[in-house]
A and B are shown apart, each in its own frame.
Chain A
Amino acid sequence: GAGVSQSPSNKVTEKGKDVELRCDPISGHTALYWYRQSLGQGLEFLIYFQGNSAPDKSGLPSDRFSAERTGGSVSTLTIQRTQQEDSAVYLCASSLSSGEVNEKLFFGSGTQLSVL
């Protein structure tokens, strides 16, 4: 498909377990973003990757959260020792570039994470 793909679509885990969320951006998009959306709330920025530059991790809420992007394409968001407050929809987006005239972001359908 041509869109941003995220997996799994749903993840239920127990408190204290680690989880990995995957994002496949649109081919050719150099910018990749992770956001979090809690129930009834707006989007919360987590982390941003742009090409080979160092990622902007300033939105990560704690050191239990980390993300990597391998080969400038697929990205994985890892949450260690999950807590109930981590329950949310985790959204990934990609764009051709940041700083260009066209700043359209293309979002995936998200991963619904539920921590019991």
Chain B
Amino acid sequence: DAKTTQPPSMDCAEGRAANLPCNHSTISGNEYVYWYRQIHSQGPQYIIHGLKNNETNEMASLIITEDRKSSTLILPHATLRDTAVYYCIVMRHGGSNYKLTFGKGTLLTVNP
């Protein structure tokens, strides 16, 4: 599976949009981009995923560049409860993709 690169940390003001970048320049055509987050002392939580098109759900939006080499997770109105480590991973469906490794992610701190 392709590796990803994320900044180790970011800050965001409460109520503002948080834009978390992820580089995945070696992504394959059949690999999806997934985002999870992990709030302190909790297990990871699924946020969103996509293949080529931009996606939006009740939690966030996912913008994938046309060449699919990078993506951005957008939290439109960050709250203090969004403070967490955000993980970007790429994986294909099926096979042994369950052996996914989340890496160290981006620690997003939302400030009041």
Which of these, B94, B99, B101, contacts A42 with CB under 8 Å? B101
Chain A: residues with Cβ within 8 Å of the partner, total of 27
Kindly list chain A residues whose C-beta atoms are within 8 Å of the C-beta of B98: 31, 33, 45, 48, 56, 98
> In the complex, which range does the number of interface residues on chain B fall in?
20 to 34
Question: Which of these binds chain A: B16-24, B42-50, B61-69, B70-78?
Answer: B42-50
Which of these, B41, B96, B97, contacts A109 with CB under 8 Å? B41
Which of these, A42, A59, A99, A106, contacts B102 with CB under 8 Å? A42
Count the A-B residue pairs with Cβ separation under 8 angstroms: how many?
60
| Bound CA–CA A98/B99 (angstroms) | 11
Kindly list chain A residues whose C-beta atoms are within 8 Å of the C-beta of B102: 42-43
B93 A93 Cβ-Cβ under 8 A: no
- Do A43 and B97 form a contact, CB below 8 Å, given A4-B43, A108-B43? no
Which residue of chain A lies nearest to B99 when distances are taken between CB atoms in the complex?
A45
Expressed in whole angstroms, the minimum distance between the Cβ of A60 and any Cβ of chain B is: 12
B34 A45 Cβ-Cβ under 8 A: no
Kindly list chain A residues whose C-beta atoms are within 8 Å of the C-beta of B46: 104-106
B100 A45 Cβ-Cβ under 8 A: yes
Which of these, A41, A100, A103, contacts B104 with CB under 8 Å? A41
Kindly list chain A residues whose C-beta atoms are within 8 Å of the C-beta of B34: 103
The chain B residues found within 8 Å of chain A, CB to CB, are 32, 34, 36, 41-46, 49, 87, 91, 93-105
